[in-house]
Amino acid sequence: MIDFHCHLDLYRNPGEVLRESVRRSCYVLAVTTTPLAWNGTLQLVGGSPRIQVALGLHPELVAERYREVAEFRRLLPEAKYVGEIGLDGSARFKGSFDLQKRVLRELLLATAEAGGRIMSIHSRAASSEVLDALAEHPGSGTPVLHWFMGNGREVRRATELGCWFSVGPAMLRTKRGIQVLGQLPPNRVLTETDGPFTESKGQALNPWDTSIAVSGIASAWEISPQDANRRIRSNLRTLLGERSRTSGHPATSE
Ligand code: MN
């Protein structure tokens, strides 16, 4: 299972979720919402090679935490991944939207100056504005748009900009989410949960619950869940620059 957007540090029982993820051989990108969570999350994860930590500054926190851009810059050299960053244009955060846009540009600029990273990106009610910012910073790396709900034109623009997409059970619970999935290029799709902020039957989704998303993706692609799983794993290897099955080399062991 691959959970490319999970708030591992924010579960009620992060140690347990981590241990179970390792036991089940899940690949997890543990995104953070503030640079101040970076060190603690690294310590939590320890040496688990399949659990990676991303350095973030969440748009919902930018109004109070914009000063932490300096801390983001300072930690960036040691971070292999960036996230969660982005924009949130929903009613609750609209008040900080201009500040969010300035901060996102600073983060993307810093990331470009650091040589670019794989970045997990939030774009709720701000698809076009996020794509504008990414277009201005082509050196910032490879964006993975998490829970992207843009229209067809925005999906095409995102794809042309080199974006990837992570899709989770909560997104696929809506008609509109399934519709978006149908427009995504299959070779740029990964799975995620956005746990613990997403739930199923009153329980926070855990990284291995991406199996629910794999089933949804399999029906959209009209293939078996096993085949969908295989394609998503191969996508991850491509994203991470590892050898893929199709290159004629032996596949990395899973
Ligand atoms: Mn998130």
156-168 pLDDT, tens digit per residue, is: 999 999 999 999 9
Question: Which chain residues have CB less than 5 Å from ligand 1, an ion?
Answer: 84, 194
For the stretch 28-63, pLDDT in tens is 999 999 999 999 999 999 989 999 999 999 999 999
Does a structural domain hold residue 121? yes
Does a structural domain hold residue 57? yes
What CATH number did the domain enclosing 116 receive? 3.20.20.140
Does a structural domain hold residue 253? no
171 C-alpha vs ligand 1 centroid, how far in Å?
12
Does a structural domain hold residue 252? no
81 C-alpha vs ligand 1 centroid, how far in Å?
14
194 C-alpha vs ligand 1 centroid, how far in Å?
5
Does a structural domain hold residue 240? yes
Q: How far apart are CA 130 and CA 128, in angstroms?
A: 5
Does a structural domain hold residue 254? no
Domain that holds residue 175: 2-245
83 C-alpha vs ligand 1 centroid, how far in Å?
9
* Whether the predicted model's global pTM rises above the 0.85 cut: yes
Residue 219 belongs to what H/E stretch? Answer: helix 210-221
DSSP letter for 198, please.
S
| Predicted local confidence at residue 13, as pLDDT | 97
Mean pLDDT of 229-252: 73
| Predicted local confidence at residue 248, as pLDDT | 40
The share of the chain scoring above pLDDT 90, in percent, equals 94
Does a structural domain hold residue 14? yes
Confidence category of residue 253, pLDDT binned at 50, 70, 90: very low
197 C-alpha vs ligand 1 centroid, how far in Å?
7
For the stretch 75-130, pLDDT in tens is 999 999 999 999 999 999 999 999 999 999 999 999 999 999 999 999 999 999 99
84 C-alpha vs ligand 1 centroid, how far in Å?
6
| Predicted local confidence at residue 254, as pLDDT | 39
Look at residue 252 and tell me whether its pLDDT is greater than 50.
no
- Contact assessment for residue 87 and residue 100, using Cβ atoms and an 8 Å cutoff: yes
Does a structural domain hold residue 44? yes
List C-alpha distances in Å: 154 to 37, 64, 143, 144.
32, 30, 14, 14
| Predicted local confidence at residue 153, as pLDDT | 98
Q: Structural domain tally of the chain? A: 1
Look at residue 244 and tell me whether its pLDDT is greater than 50.
no
Look at residue 182 and tell me whether its pLDDT is greater than 60.
yes
117 C-alpha vs ligand 1 centroid, how far in Å?
18
31 C-alpha vs ligand 1 centroid, how far in Å?
7
What's the mean pLDDT when you consider all of the chain? 95
Q: How far apart are CA 127 and CA 237, in angstroms?
A: 26
Mean pLDDT of 245-252: 42
The share of the chain scoring above pLDDT 70, in percent, equals 95
